[in-house]
Amino acid sequence: MELREKVLSPKKQVIRERPGRILSVARALLDEEGYAGVTMERIAKVMNCSRPPIYKHFSSREDVVMGLAIEDAQQRWKLFKCAATFQGRPREKLVAVNEFVFRTYPDQLRILSLLKPNLIRLKATSKHQETLADYESRAFDILTRIVDEGVEEGDLVIPGGQPASTVAYGLLCLS
């Protein structure tokens, strides 16, 4: 029996691609106009549609920003995984993490800074809150493992017997 990919109608394909397009437009608006420019009305205008199709995917502009944060957190997690598999010393892996965060994907820092007051997080859907927390946790776990590996191999000495997770948290806070 041969498995075939289901071919979607053009309309269904547009609907499937809409969340990504919404986020792409929102990211461009955020870059050009800042957070104040990211409104459902502006997104709809740029996409040349009404607001209801946007609300089918995102409950509010805060939810859209959480969608951007999820994209960024997923990218950061992938980059951390790549750094963790680097065939080098733990200190070199930490340098790779730093390079990824600050040079390869610096725009994520602006979106993360929007989330710090927590108002955006609280207004987003619980599904988006949970998804973001999951990717943040995954990235934190990878960084903690790299720090643990550094301690085990003698690349890092943590004063005062602090756990690796404390150092990993500090490194994330620095970003």
166 CB neighbour count, 10 Å cutoff: 14
The more confident residue out of 2 and 82 is 82
Higher pLDDT, 119 or 78: 78
State which H helix or E strand residue 90 sits in.
helix 90-99
* Spatial separation of the C-alpha atoms in residues 163 and 82, rounded to whole Å: 23
User: According to the model, what pLDDT value does residue 2 have?
Assistant: 58
Compute CA distances 82 → 26, 90, 96, 132, whole Å.
Answer: 28, 13, 9, 19
pLDDT given at position 3: 60
- Taking only the tens place, the pLDDT of each residue in 57-68 is 999 999 999 999
The span from the CA of 38 to the CA of 27, in Å, is 8
Selection from 139, 163, 133, 131 nearest residue 83 by Cα: 139
106 — pLDDT class (breaks 50, 70, 90): low
pLDDT in tens, 29-45: 998 998 999 999 999 99
- Burial class of residue 97 in the structure, from the number of CB atoms within 10 Å of its CB (0-12 exposed, 13-18 middle, 19+ buried): buried
pTM: 0.84
Residue 83: both structure tokens together: 């750094």
Residues 6+ apart with CB under 8 A from 158: 147, 151, 164, 166, 167
Name residues whose C-beta falls within 8 Å of residue 142's C-beta, 6 or more positions apart in sequence. 77, 80, 81, 83, 84
The mean pLDDT of the chain is: 87
Query: What is residue 143's predicted lDDT score, i.e. its pLDDT?
Result: 93
pLDDT level of residue 140 (50, 70, 90 thresholds) = very high
Q: For 41-51, write each residue's pLDDT tens digit.
A: 999 999 999 99
